[in-house]
Structures are given as structure tokens and as C-alpha cells.
């Protein structure tokens, strides 16, 4: 059977597009971009992370346009990104320069600089707050005033503190391996297709833009026995990082002549993973390796999950799917996975008819044999 071109449905499609707009507007209430930015921090962060484009304003617009659908918002952002020229590459961002807003360790009670809870839902009661149904401007203004007054009493230090990394503390003690600074230019999966075995840079790029749910589920599977990594979180930190770029035509320009372009907020995780290694005498002994996770915005579950998968993929293991980089890296991208699943909704009339024809032939053949 050959392919049969068909046309039609233009009017229906136009009517459908109107209908989807009607669904967004029929309640006769709209949400402002500023409201999304002010009230849906986690959603904005997740859209930016999965679309691999840091722009809170565009993410909020995508959320509004997509009526809150994550996959649609990420798709819109990725599509928009593809229309923009890439003007610069940043200088390497060193995360020790982070302005820390939150920083905890599950490995040590006492860490240099202390544990800073920052803003977290970890210690809140997961009970619906029905007071929010009738929250009035006067209520939150009053709350804010009282909070600002409380904050006036804090003891302000003259210098801004940059917190040392927990892992550096352990490295200095000789408990963790030291790695030389590696300035090998990273691969860029947006410029060249992912190849296997993947480089560490390509792997981390795929993981950080992975769908939060997919990344979390695979890391969870590893913890439950479909993998061999069960880490202790050495440090989770959330904070802002300054971004610098060099002048494109000043090749010999120094660090002092770089442009500061702004800050991005990220969540970064270092997980400590126990591994068995062979020593000089060929005896097995316990050692620790570090799983690394980072993503745009505040999304701690995703960053921890990335750190688990990073470590899984560092040690290929045929028995476990979470240690198989093709399995992990080819199935966590939001646009790829949701796009492929949703293409199944599109017309497959010819291919399906072909399958039906085959079944009819088989059944007809069976009837002939029976008779």
C-alpha cells in the first residue's frame, strides 16, 4: 500500500485554536506575568531548568500561555530559544562564589559556616492553609511589615561571607580524591548530537535540562535497587551565581575587562557515595566518590536526583538500567519524551490501515485452513 496524501481540517483546526483560547479566557480572569513571577517561583524555576533557558520573565509568559502545562511551557521556551542568536559563552562559573541563600548538609552536623535553612518547605506542615482562600492585600502587607521590622534587628556583618564547600574540607583532610582543574572545552548537546559513550560534560548537560519527574523517578529507581548508588548528601546549596563574559573582539582582554551580565539562581548538590576500590595490594577497601547535581532555580529534589544519576553513569553496569547512559540520557528530556508520546495522537491512518490489512489477511488465511 502506498501513501495517500489527504487534506482537509483547516477550518476545524482554526476553530480548535479559538476553542483553546476560549478555555483560557472563559473564566473572564487573567493572570498577570508579574503575579506568576511573584507567586509561582517553583514553577518558573522548573520551566527554566527543563527548557535550559534562564529567563524568569519568558518562563512566566510560557506558563501563562500554556495555562500551567509544564510540557507545553517548556516546549514554548525551547521553540523560542531556537529563534535567538547565541551571542556569547560565559567564562567558567565557579560555584564557590555563590551568594548562598540556603545551605545544608546531611553528612555533618557541624559544617564550616554552619547550616543555613533559608527558605524551605521541609519543616512546614503539609496541611492546606484555608486562610489563603480569602487572603487580602491588607493581610500580607501587615505580615510583611512585621517581618521587615523583625529583620531590622539582625546583626549585619561588614563583609559578605562566601561559604566554603563541605567537600573541600574533606579533600583537605585527604579523605576524598583531589582533581586537577580540567579546562577541556565542554561538548554542547545543542550543537552536536549526543553520542555514546557520552562525555561527562554532555551527560551533565542532559541531566540538568532533564524533566524533573523523569530524573527524580530514575534516581529513585536506583535507590530502590535498580541501581547501585545510595548516597549521603554532602551539601545542598541554593544561591545566586554571577555570570561574566569576555568582549568578543578583545582577544587579549584580562579578567578585569570582562562584562558582568547578571546573576542566576541555582541549586547545587554534592552527594557522597561509598564505593569499593582496589588498593595497592589489590585488596578491596572503602572509598568515597562524589555525585554532582546542579539545576536552575530552587529545585532540590532534581539536583539530588541528578547527583545520583551522575554517579550511576560514572559506573556503567549492564545489570541496571539506571547505570546505562543510553537508557537514562535518551529518555529524560521533556520535549523529546512528551513530543514522541503525543505524536501518537496524530493521524496514523495509512500505517494503521496497513496493520489492519495484515490482520485481515492472516484471519482470512486461518479461515481457509479451517474450512
- Cβ closer to another protein: 257 or 357? 257
Q: Supply 55's cell numbers.
A: 529567563
Number of residues that bind another protein (CB under 8 A): 88
For another protein, the binding residues in 108-137 under the rule CB under 8 A are 109-110, 114-119
10 or 82: CB nearest another protein: 82
In the bound state with another protein, the residue whose beta carbon lies nearer, of 40 and 116, is: 116
- 20/117 with CB nearer another protein: 117
Distances (CA, A) of 156 to 99, 131, 161, 229: 15, 34, 11, 42
| Nearer residue to another protein within complex by CB, 216 or 271 | 271
Query: What is the phi/psi pair of residue 261, to 5°?
Result: -115, -10
Q: What string of DSSP letters covers 262-281?
A: EEEEEEEEEEEEEEEEE-TT
Please give the radius of gyration of the chain, using alpha carbons only, rounded to the nearest integer.
Answer: 26
Shortest distance (Å) from residue 54 CB to another protein = 4
Grid cell digits, residue 85: 542568536
Nearest to 268 by CA among 167, 184, 345: 167
Q: Does residue number 33 form part of the binding site for another protein (CB under 8 A)?
A: no
Answer yes or no whether residue 85 interacts with another protein by CB under 8 A. Answer: yes
- Looking at the Cβ atoms of 184 and 282, the one nearer to another protein is 184
Q: Is 95 helix (H, G, I), strand (E, B) or coil?
A: helix
**Cα separation, 104 vs 123, whole angstroms:** 13
When binding is defined by CB under 8 A, the residue of 69, 90, 217, 301 that contacts another protein is 90
Q: Which of 69, 99, 226, 338 binds another protein (CB under 8 A)?
A: 99
If phi > 0 it is left, if psi is from -120 to 50 it is alpha, else beta; for residue 105 that is beta
Count of alpha carbons within 13 angstroms of residue 38, beta-carbon side: 6
Q: Which is nearer to another protein, 180 or 370 (by Cβ)?
A: 180
Residues 6+ apart with CB under 8 A from 330: 194, 336
Is there binding between residue 286 and another protein (CB under 8 A)? no
What the block records as the C-alpha cell of 81 is 530559544
Q: Does 294 bind another protein (CB under 8 A)?
A: yes
Stretch that binds another protein, among 19-27, 101-109, 222-230, 355-363 (CB under 8 A): 101-109
The DSSP code for 161 is: P
Q: Please, which of residues 182-201 interact with another protein by CB under 8 A?
A: 182-186, 188, 190, 200-201
Contact 37, 297 (CB under 8 A): no
Residue 247 interacts with another protein (CB under 8 A)?
A: yes
**Shortest CB 353 distance to another protein, Å:** 43
**73 belongs to the binding site for another protein (CB under 8 A):** no
Near another protein in 312-371, by CB under 8 A: none
Amino acid at each position: 500500500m502506498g501513501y495517500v496524501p489527504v487534506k482537509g481540517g483547516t477550518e476545524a483546526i482554526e476553530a480548535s485554536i479559538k476553542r483553546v483560547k476560549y478555555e483560557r479566557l472563559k473564566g473572564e480572569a487573567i493572570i498577570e506575568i508579574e503575579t506568576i513571577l511573584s507567586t509561582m517561583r517553583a514553577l518558573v524555576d522548573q520551566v527554566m531548568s527543563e527548557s535550559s533557558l534562564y529567563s524568569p520573565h519568558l518562563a512566566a509568559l510560557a506558563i501563562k500561555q500554556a495555562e500551567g502545562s509544564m510540557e507545553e511551557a517548556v516546549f514554548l521556551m525551547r521553540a523560542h530559544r531556537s529563534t535567538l542568536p547565541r551571542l556569547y559563552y560565559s567564562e567558567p562559573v565557579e560555584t564557590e562564589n555563590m551568594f548562598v541563600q540556603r545551605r545544608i548538609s546531611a553528612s555533618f552536623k557541624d559544617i564550616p559556616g554552619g547550616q543555613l535553612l533559608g527558605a524551605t518547605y521541609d519543616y512546614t506542615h503539609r496541611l492546606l492553609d484555608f486562610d489563603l482562600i480569602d487572603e487580602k492585600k491588607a493581610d500580607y502587607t501587615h505580615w510583611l511589615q512585621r517581618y521587615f521590622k523583625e529583620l531590622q534587628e539582625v546583626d549585619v556583618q561588614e563583609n559578605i561571607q562566601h561559604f566554603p564547600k563541605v567537600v573541600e574540607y574533606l579533600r583537605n583532610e585527604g579523605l576524598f580524591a583531589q582533581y586537577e582543574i580540567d579546562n577541556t572545552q565542554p561538548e554542547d548537546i545543542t550543537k552536536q548530537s549526543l553520542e555514546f559513550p557520552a562525555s561527562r560534560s554532555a551527560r551533565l548537560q542532559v541531566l540538568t535540562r532533564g524533566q524533573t519527574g523523569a530524573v527524580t523517578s530514575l534516581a529513585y529507581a536506583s535507590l530502590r535497587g535498580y541501581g547501585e548508588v545510595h548516597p549521603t548528601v554532602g551539601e545542598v546549596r541554593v544561591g545566586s551565581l554571577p555570570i561574566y563574559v569576555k568582549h568578543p573582539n578583545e582577544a587579549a582582554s584580562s579578567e578585569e575587562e570582562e562584562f558582568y551580565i547578571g546573576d542566576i539562581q541555582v541549586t547545587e548538590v554534592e552527594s557522597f557515595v561509598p564505593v569499593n576500590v582496589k588498593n595497592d595490594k589489590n585488596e578491596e577497601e572503602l572509598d568515597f566518590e562524589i555525585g554532582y547535581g546542579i539545576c536552575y532555580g530552587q529545585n532540590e529534589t532534581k539536583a539530588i536526583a541528578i547527583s545520583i544519576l551522575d554517579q550511576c553513569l560514572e559506573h556503567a553496569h549492564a545489570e541496571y538500567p539506571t547505570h546505562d547512559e543510553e537508557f537514562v540520557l535518551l529518555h529524560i528530556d521533556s520535549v523529546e519524551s512528551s513530543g514522541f508520546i503525543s505524536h501518537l495522537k496524530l493521524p496514523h491512518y495509512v500505517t494503521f490501515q496497513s496493520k489492519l490489512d495484515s490482520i485481515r489477511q492472516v484471519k482470512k488465511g486461518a479461515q481457509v485452513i479451517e474450512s
